[in-house]
Amino acid sequence: MCGMLGSGFLVSLQIFSLTLLGALPLGLPVALARMSKVRPLAAIARFYISIMRGTPLMLQMFAIYFVPYYVFGVSLTTDSKWQATIVAFIINYAAYFAEIYRSGIQSIPRGQYEAAEVLGYSGGQTFFRIVLPQVVKRILPSITNEVITLVKDTSLAFSIGVIEMFTVAKQLVASQVSMLPFAIAAAFYWVFNLLIDALATRVERKLDYYHD
């Protein structure tokens, strides 16, 4: 039982890892677009964020999975399920991360930008050397919360037939007429989230030299 759940957890871990690899960096340009003084660009970013945050992730997976078939006649395969899952998770979480980044960037006092300009820093140097380290410290708790939510949201992949840990647990419960597989799956999620929380706490301590 644990071996089967472990195999399912590896799939969940893949969804989790690929989502972070795609969504964390994607969220930054979306946040910058959202704050842009170019109104059409800012409007597009706001619309994207609104759609991603205002509709269920499960529905987004359905749309990405089925639209190519019903609109363009593209054949659906096992790989299509996996690709739809990863794309849906990335674009969904990128919207949430973008809003977290935006709140962090806007929380930095304007005086720091002006001081950096006086010292001869370019716009890029100011952002990456002065602003970004402080933003990371300020948004880390919010990012951690989203990452923990992501661990649990990987279970939604079952809706389009991706066999991750929750799906395996359901199959075992049905075949063994026992709730034990659910309890073990819950333990997997819980322990993994404990590890994430411990890692985030350690990073926060390392960033303590950035005092507000």
Per the CB < 8 A criterion, the answer to whether 97 and 23 are in contact is: yes
Quote the pLDDT of residue 195. Answer: 95
Quote the pLDDT of residue 178. Answer: 83
Q: What is the Cα–Cα distance from 107 to 136, expressed in whole angstroms?
A: 12
- For the chain, which domains are there? 2-206 (1.10.3720.10)
Quote the pLDDT of residue 78. Answer: 73
Distances (CA, A) of 101 to 31, 110, 115, 123, 211: 6, 16, 22, 18, 19
- Count other Cβ atoms within 10 Å, centred on residue 131: 17
- Count other Cβ atoms within 10 Å, centred on residue 26: 17
Quote the pLDDT of residue 156. Answer: 94
Averaged in consecutive runs of 10 residues, what is the pLDDT profile of the chain (212 residues)? Answer: 83 96 96 93 96 95 89 79 95 97 87 76 77 84 94 93 90 86 91 94 77 52
Quote the pLDDT of residue 211. Answer: 54
